[in-house]
Amino acid sequence: MAMTPSIHQPVALETKQQSYAMAMAVVTMLFFMWGFLTCLNDILVPHFKIIFDLNYTQVMLIQFTFFAAYFIMSIPSGKIVARIGYKKGIVVGLITAGIGALLFYPAAGIPSYPLFLTALFVLAAGITMLQVTANPYVAVLGRPQTASSRLNLTQGFNSLGHTLGPVFGGIFILAGASLTQEQVRLLPNDQQIMYRLQEAGYVQGPYLFLAATLFVLAVVMALFKLPVIATVEDHHAKSGRLRDALKHRHLVLGAIGIFLYVGAEVSIGSFLVNFFGEKDIAALSPQKAADYVSFYWGAAMVGRFVGSALLQRLDPRKMLAVVASIASLLVLVTILSTGHVAMWTIISVGLFNSVMFPIIFTLGVDGLGKLTSQGSSLLVMAIVGGAIIPVIQGAFADAIGIHTAFIIPALCYLYVVFYGLKGSKHSLVQEASSVPVEA
């Protein structure tokens, strides 16, 4: 006897889809927030360079400290999520990030570069928790075939945060930056101290506001009912299997890809304000240059929304190889040119950065099945490239000049081309996608 479909099935399916959509909307808000916070580092780099009279290598400790937190805190974050679940993990991440933002107030009051770096580490530890929970959550919140597309969509809002962050920082942090580093050095000692105290004070208000926003978001998330991905929660609960995940070549090569891609993207963004201030490029003031940094991240935002649609139809491996090739070429043109040509080619790199992270991430965890959470933790750890590569480029900038030092990200993108063409290929079979259920 044939079974008659239940009239409740369409209703259940519609309810599940609505639950997915609402969960995506809420998690997307987190992507926006950590993008906004991360990109403010690009404003802190030129600001702290003047306040603490630092060279490029020293000031890149900002990015080193921030992104080192991803490497150090990724596995502990995964273990915390295994114990308390995704929703509570998000709340803990937001509270931790809020505490980090709050620490900017006493750091600016002294002012103390080591205390600023401590505040940045705490802030980044909270964002690491959000990364560990949100990226794999989005990846499995629907069909495996469209995982790259979903991550591109959420990363688009992450890029919106990156785009608005420099504008916010330019208005509220760099607004009083009237002197260059060389001009400050020429002031009498007492005037130097007063000027640097004044400049440090511009950081306090914005980060107090951000701390309050993060705490409010934590309360909102605590009250919101997120769908639970049952099997993904189980995967997080099974610890001690990272060694098994490391046996998969495409995952390890993907981690290297994330390391180099993030390093290249962060390096470029970190140097833009100072680069645009060079006389043979655009000779822009720090505040004006911050507006153009927004174009770099805004191009990434546009690329991610467009990429989300294109990845519904195109092979992600081929697309990754193409965009990484163009990015490397644009950086080389920047190195070989000056003026507005160099300025706009380096800004244009942001457009082609756009789809790299979500594609590398989804290719890296593709086919891992029960090892997906361990693979995700490894890929999040690889974001430490944002700590290492900028310091390397900073050392090159001190030695051979800020312009030529862009050769470092150009080389990073060439590896991403290799990963798209060969490194991401494997013979594993993707397990059936998990089904979200209400908690």
3-state secondary structure the chain: CCCCCCCHHHHHHHHHHHHHHHHHHHHHHHHHHHHHHHHCHHHHHHHHHHHCCCCHHHHCHHHHHHHHHHHHHHHHHHHHHHHHCHHHHHHHHHHHHHHHHHCHHHHHHCCCHHHHHHHHHHHHHHHHHHHHHHHHHHHCCCCHHHHHHHHHHHHHHHHHHHHHHHHHHHHHCCCCCCCCHHHHHCCCHHHHHHHHHHHHHCCHHHHHHHHHHHHHHHHHHHHCCCEEEHHHHHHHHCCCCHHHHCCCHHHHHHHHHHHHHHHHHHHHHHHHHHHHCCCCCCCCCHHHHHHHHHHHHHHHHHHHHHHHHHCCCCCHHHHHHHHHHHHHHHHHHHHHCCHHHHHHHHHHHHHHHCCHHHHHHHHHHCCCHHHHHHHHHHHHHHHHHHHHHHHHHHHHHHHHCCCHHHHHHHHHHHHHHHHHHHHCCCCCCCCCCCCEEEC
Dump pLDDT digits (tens) for 211-255: 999 999 999 888 887 776 554 555 455 444 678 888 999 999 999
CA angle, residues 64, 65, 67, in degrees to nearest 5: 70
User: Mean pLDDT lowest for which of 149-163, 303-317, 398-412?
Assistant: 149-163
pLDDT at 327: 98
Stated pTM of the model: 0.83
Are 334 and 430 a contacting pair, CB within 8 Å?
no
Say what percent of the chain tops pLDDT 90.
Answer: 59
- pLDDT tens digits for range 324-367: 999 999 999 999 999 999 999 999 999 999 899 989 988 998 88
Q: Does position 199 have pLDDT exceeding 90, yes or no?
A: yes
Give the span between the Cα atoms of 1 and 418, in whole angstroms: 56
> Residue 433's pLDDT is what?
39
Instruction: Give the C-alpha separation, 88 to 129, whole Å.
Output: 10
Instruction: Quickly state the pLDDT bin for 294 (edges 50, 70, 90).
Output: very high
Determine phi and psi for 438, rounding to 5 degrees. -70, 140
In the predicted model, is pLDDT for residue 439 greater than 70? no
What's phi and psi for 204, nearest 5 deg? -60, -55
Reported residue count of the chain is 439
Average pLDDT (171-177) is 86
- Give the C-alpha distances (Å, rounded to integers) separating 205 from 33, 120, 136, 154, 343: 17, 16, 34, 29, 31
Closest CA to 259 of 353, 75, 375, 382: 382
Residue 436 has pLDDT above 70, yes or no: no
For residue 113, what are its two tokens? 């570069």
Q: Which of 86-95, 100-109, 126-135, 274-283 has the lowest mean pLDDT?
A: 126-135
Q: Give the model's pLDDT for residue 124.
A: 96
Closest CA to 155 of 353, 384, 381: 353
Helical packing angle, 61-84 and 41-51, nearest 10°: 140
Does 5 score more than 60 pLDDT?
no
Whether the per-residue pLDDT at 432 is higher than 50: the answer is: no
- Tell me the C-alpha distance between 275 and 181, whole Å: 14
User: C-alpha angle 432/433/439, rounded to 5°?
Assistant: 135
Among 298, 299, 287, 282, smallest CA distance to 334 is for 282
Instruction: Name beta bridge partners: 417.
Output: none
Hey, which of 20-24, 123-127, 305-309 has the most confident mean pLDDT?
123-127
Question: pLDDT tens digit string along 40-63?
Answer: 999 999 999 999 999 999 999 999
All structural domains of the chain, each given as residue ranges with its CATH number in brackets, are 25-426 (1.20.1250.20)
Residue 221 burial (10 A CB sphere; 0-12, 13-18, 19+): buried
Residue pair 35/158 in contact (Cβ under 8 Å)? The answer is yes
- For the record, the structure tokens of 353 come out as 């950065």
For residue 305, give the nearest of 162, 155, 165, 163 by alpha carbon: 155
